[in-house]
Amino acid sequence: MKGVSFPLFKTKLETEAQKFNLEDPVGRKEYFVTKAQPDIEKIKEYLEKGNTFLAILLGKKNSGKGTYSKLFAEAVGKDRVLHISVGDMVRELDAVVQDEAQQKELVEYLQKHYRSSVPLQEALDAIKSRSTQFLLPTELILALLRRKIENVKGKAIFIDGFPRNLDQISYSLYFRQIMGFKDDPDFFVFIDVPENIIDERMKYRVICPICHVPRNPRLLKTKDVGYDAATKEFYLMCDDSACNKARMVPKEGDSLGIEAIRERIELDDTIMRSLLDMDGVSKVYLRNAYPVAQASEYLADYEITPGYFYTWDEANQKVITEEKPWTALDEDGIESYSLFPAPIVVSLLHQIAEKLS
């Protein structure tokens, strides 16, 4: 965020005994044990007693909120984490309102917990018609969230996608009371990712036409890389054996990069800035980018996202791949490295463990 400096968190050990493969689940597990075992044990002990905490994830679109929640679950146990995407939760209503029994249960619940100037039936009709002209009332979103979490015990709850607009900020400040989690800790988790990094991730994203798994030839390559002699372009081939090395293709609309979601990005920035200065809610700060000049003090080399560069070896008819740390300018124009998600999650684990102590 321009003009806002999140603290740097050191994950580099005094002696790095080994390098971990942070793209492999087994490698990540070993990494988390090495770098964050005391914090993991504190969090697990807290949750195993039936305690709960709420973490509201705040970051710009494509900042990695879902990814960090997933890796947090890898570290502390998937059965101890509940990640709720508000967008997915709302989309799930499409199926609920089409099923008579599920709709009846939903309506009965909302009649007890929904309070709004917008009639409940009007909100339900908007869902059924898939109306994009009618925004669901915040009070409905809150009632649905309460339905999701009111009986949850012994889990870390991550809320992704709330607040979504400026009108919802005041609700977010009293989220714990509204949800009925009066005695459980709650945190705002701020995620800072420079726009240049989001832009690169989007602009060069490709997907498999068969399984739709996304990759990025510059930042997240596949095992096999091909070369099209006619166009002189390099391309990725899907790793899934079922796809038979299908040529991955650009995702529609991604060529515009971050500009395609500029309005959303600016609103997310405004919401984050509004909540950064709020008192009374504990805060966790995660940063994706570290200044190149300071990175060696805080990070091991393998924790830095590599960039991939390709050349065609005509003599041997093969692609030569060169890997080196990828840099991008942050919002203040400082050349920075982007991190793999795992070291950012180590910072998340440490900060939450401290707040639960």
pLDDT in tens, 131-148: 555 567 888 888 889 888
Q: Is 90 exceeded by the pLDDT of residue 125?
A: no
Range 25-194+258-304+339-356 classified under CATH 3.30.70: no
Q: Which residues contact 238 (CB under 8 A, 6 or more apart)?
A: 208, 210, 211, 213, 222, 245, 246, 248
pTM of the model: 0.89
Mean pLDDT of the chain: 90
Contact yes or no for 93/127 (Cβ under 8 A): yes
pLDDT in tens, 54-79: 999 999 988 989 899 999 999 999 99
Per the structure block, which two tokens stand in for 117? 């100037």
pLDDT at 133 (0 to 100)? 53
pLDDT in tens, 166-189: 888 888 877 777 766 667 888 999
**Residue 99 — pLDDT band, cuts 50, 70, 90?**
confident
pLDDT in tens, 222-262: 999 999 999 999 999 999 889 999 999 998 778 888 998 99
Q: CA-CA distance, 18 to 197, in Å (whole number)?
A: 28
Domain ranges in the chain?
Answer: 25-194+258-304+339-356, 206-250+305-338
pLDDT at 82 (0 to 100)? 95
Give the rounded distance of the alpha carbon of 255 from its chain centre. Answer: 21
pLDDT in tens, 269-325: 999 999 998 888 899 999 999 999 999 999 999 999 999 999 999 999 999 999 988
